[in-house]
């Protein structure tokens, strides 16, 4: 050009292929909405992003095929939310053959798999942290509200709603929330653990059964996520119990509806799973990988893992979080 600049203003085209385990999952749906929004902001920075999102409806076979299809269509970067987190081998092999980096997200492959090739990354959270935080806010509440122990036997009769068997978050949240409660001097009596697949309707069914079995004896419900906690809330609403007969209920994710339930006193707390921050990081990584930039590997754990920070939400800070979707990312880029 006349001024010596050879740069043309043609947007760089990036094709990002996203594979999801199940788009009906509420948390995941919100994460994807945020990711789409991040991709639109990249367009303002001169990239032309073409995004394909495919839903595996919970089948790893289906997802393997979908990834093949996106590779066949020439995608540059893959973002993969595994259906079966222990079985990424087909996807990794296919991506490696075509030299396409993969950003796994939300459903964490085992370390051995992630280390198979240098262009594999993970964006998510440190699952243990959410369990510890949930145990802490629950213990704090219980230790300062003697009425939680409705039958005054010095023990807290509790029910635990578990997400999916084998999911890193379900495993760690169950283990660490309970350990943390005990560590903080809460004496627990386990009534029942129920798997409800992260799902509100399933949790409501499970809780209905437990309510008919235990009546008002349930004093605490610990749930691996908010959707299931909201299922418990729904079960108590329909059972028509007076509020003083409800147990205290704790979730994880910080979904808007759960925050409203906390505000209304139907739930006592949640742990924010920062989908805004995760979406930002995924978009940022996608561009950096596309540009072939040397990664700021020091900022990633073991050069591969990005974990966003969980945040505690309870009665003490609920107003900061309620209706503040776009500001929830306190750890920004």
- Helix 275-290 crosses helix 26-44 at what angle (to 10 degrees)? 50
Contacts of Ca ion in 251-280 (CB under 5 A): none
Distance CA 226, CA 267 (A): 10
Q: 2 by DSSP, 3-state: which? A: coil
**Which of 152, 143, 149 has its CA nearest to residue 180?**
143
User: Quick check: 217 binds Ca ion (CB under 5 A)?
Assistant: no
Query: Closer to ligand BGC at the Cβ: 28 or 287?
Result: 28
Q: Which of 86, 89, 143, 151 binds Ca ion (CB under 5 A)?
A: 151
Neighbour-count burial of 297, counting CB atoms closer than 10 A to its CB (0-12 exposed, 13-18 middle, 19+ buried): exposed
Q: Which of 60, 63, 106, 308 binds ligand BGC (CB under 6 A)?
A: 106
Select from 6-14, 25-33, 258-266, 282-290 the region that touches ligand BGC (CB under 6 A): 25-33
Distance CA 14, CA 79 (A): 13
Residue 111 makes CB contacts below 8 A (sequence gap 6+) with none
Residue given tokens 């369990």 in the structure block:
131
> 151 is in the binding site of which of ligand BGC, Ca ion, none (Cβ under 5 to 8 A by kind)?
Ca ion
**Which of 158, 168, 328 has its CA nearest to residue 253?**
328
Site string for ligand BGC, 58-97 (x = CB under 6 A): ----------------------------------------
> Least separation, in Å, of the C-beta of 210 and ligand BGC?
21
Distance CA 301, CA 124 (A): 12
User: Quick check: 273 binds ligand BGC (CB under 6 A)?
Assistant: yes
> 203 is in the binding site of which of Ca ion, ligand BGC, none (Cβ under 5 to 8 A by kind)?
none
Which residues on adjacent β-strands are paired with residue 120? 102
> 153 is in the binding site of which of ligand BGC, Ca ion, none (Cβ under 5 to 8 A by kind)?
Ca ion
Residue nearest to Ca ion (CB): 149
Distance CA 48, CA 93 (A): 28
Distance CA 55, CA 22 (A): 6
Query: Closer to ligand BGC at the Cβ: 25 or 234?
Result: 25
Q: Hey, what's the torsion of the CAs at 186, 191, 197, 203, to 10 degrees?
A: -100
Contacts of ligand BGC in 163-182 (CB under 6 A): 169
Query: Closer to ligand BGC at the Cβ: 96 or 129?
Result: 129
**Which of 121, 67, 60 has its CA nearest to residue 85?**
60
Query: Closer to ligand BGC at the Cβ: 130 or 157?
Result: 130
User: Quick check: 270 binds ligand BGC (CB under 6 A)?
Assistant: no
Query: Closer to ligand BGC at the Cβ: 15 or 122?
Result: 122
User: Quick check: 225 binds ligand BGC (CB under 6 A)?
Assistant: yes
> 136 is in the binding site of which of Ca ion, ligand BGC, none (Cβ under 5 to 8 A by kind)?
none
Q: 82 by DSSP, 3-state: which? A: coil
Q: Which of 22, 84, 149, 257 binds Ca ion (CB under 5 A)?
A: 149
Question: Which positions lie near ligand BGC, rule CB under 6 A?
Answer: 25, 27-28, 106-107, 169, 198, 225, 227, 252-253, 273
């Amino acid at each position: 050009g006349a001024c010596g600049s050879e740069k043309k203003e043609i947007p760089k085209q990036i094709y990002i292929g996203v594979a999801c385990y199940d788009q009906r999952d509420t948390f995941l749906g919100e994460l994807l909405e945020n990711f789409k929004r991040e991709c639109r902001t990249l367009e303002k920075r001169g990239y032309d992003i073409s995004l394909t999102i495919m839903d595996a409806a919970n089948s790893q076979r289906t997802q393997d095929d979908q990834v093949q299809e996106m590779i066949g269509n020439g995608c540059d970067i893959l973002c993969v939310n595994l259906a079966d987190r222990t079985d990424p081998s087909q996807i990794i092999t296919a991506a490696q053959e075509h030299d396409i980096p993969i950003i796994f997200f939300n459903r964490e492959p085992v370390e051995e798999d992630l280390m198979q090739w240098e262009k594999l990354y993970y964006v998510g959270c440190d699952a243990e942290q959410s369990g510890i935080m949930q145990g802490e806010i629950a213990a704090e509440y219980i230790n300062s509200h003697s009425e939680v122990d409705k039958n005054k036997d010095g023990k807290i009769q509790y029910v635990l709603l578990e997400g999916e068997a084998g999911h890193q978050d379900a495993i760690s949240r169950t283990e660490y929330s309970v350990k943390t409660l005990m560590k903080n001097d809460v004496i627990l009596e386990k009534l029942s653990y129920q798997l409800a697949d992260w799902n509100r309707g399933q949790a409501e069914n499970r809780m209905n059964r437990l309510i008919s079995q235990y009546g008002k004896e349930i004093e605490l419900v610990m749930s691996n996520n908010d959707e299931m906690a909201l299922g418990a809330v729904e079960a108590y609403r329909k059972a028509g119990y007076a509020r003083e007969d409800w147990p205290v209920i704790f979730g994880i994710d910080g979904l808007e509806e759960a925050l409203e339930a906390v505000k209304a006193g139907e739930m006592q707390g949640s742990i924010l799973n920062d989908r805004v921050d995760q979406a930002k990081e995924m978009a940022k990584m996608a561009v950096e990988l596309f540009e072939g930039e040397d990664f700021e590997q020091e900022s990633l754990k073991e050069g591969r893992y990005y974990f966003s920070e969980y945040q505690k939400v309870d009665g003490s800070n609920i107003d900061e979080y309620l209706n503040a979707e776009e500001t929830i990312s306190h750890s920004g880029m």
